[in-house]
Amino acid sequence: MNNVFWQILRAVLLLFVQIVVLNNIQLFGMVSPFLYTLIIITLPIKMPRNYVMLLGCLIGCVMDVFTNSYGFHFAATVLVAYARPFLMKLFATRENMEKLYPSYTNFGNAFYYYAFAMVFLHHFCLFAIEAFSFYYIGLVLLKTLCSSVFTLILIWGIETLKIRRK
């Protein structure tokens, strides 16, 4: 029960930071960090897909309400929640899958490959829906790559702080 409380608190804190601080960051019109994807990335490994999808719906709806987007975050977050087990199996070893949570301490460098794949998929879906045309595919890919790298740097910083705290 105590662990569930901390997971909820962490999710609320990440959403708050995203809404209040990170949604106001636009570097060169190309970089928009979406750190709230870390909520889905670090959910317990054994959590049933139905719950992960439901949580993805909830998180996407909250982001859409606060960013006045029309289902963009909802679609991207639900896609990432659905693809999560496939990407985890792609990057994690069998030993890693027996751990409780995906993190750098549990997965090693494979965590960053997994996190980058999740963030890239999320950002690509979000920016592709936003552009709504294959005419801008180059711009969508560039924005996706730049934003994904920046978001991954933020995730790396959070993981480093967690390691130092322990």
Please give the pLDDT value at position 28.
83
Q: Which parts of the chain register pLDDT below 70?
A: 1-2, 166
**Distance (Å, whole) CA 99 – CA 122:** 24
Give residue limits of the domains in the chain.
Answer: 2-165
**Distance (Å, whole) CA 112 – CA 54:** 24
> pLDDT over 70 for what percent of the chain?
98
Whole-prediction pTM: 0.91
Please give the pLDDT value at position 72.
93
Nearby residues of 24 by Cβ (< 8 Å), 6 or more positions away: none
Please give the pLDDT value at position 107.
85
DSSP conformation letters of 5-42: HHHHHHHHHHHHHHHHTGGG--BTTTB---TTHHHHHT
Nearby residues of 84 by Cβ (< 8 Å), 6 or more positions away: 40, 41, 43, 49, 52, 118
DSSP 96: G
**Distance (Å, whole) CA 157 – CA 165:** 12
DSSP 65: H
Please give the pLDDT value at position 166.
65
Cα dist from 2 to 6, 61, 101, whole Å:
7, 26, 15
DSSP conformation letters of 97-166: GGSSS--HHHHTTHHHHHHHHHHHHHHHHHHHHHH-SGGGHHHHHHHHHHHHHHHHHHHHHHHHHHHHH-
Please give the pLDDT value at position 94.
79
Please give the pLDDT value at position 25.
82
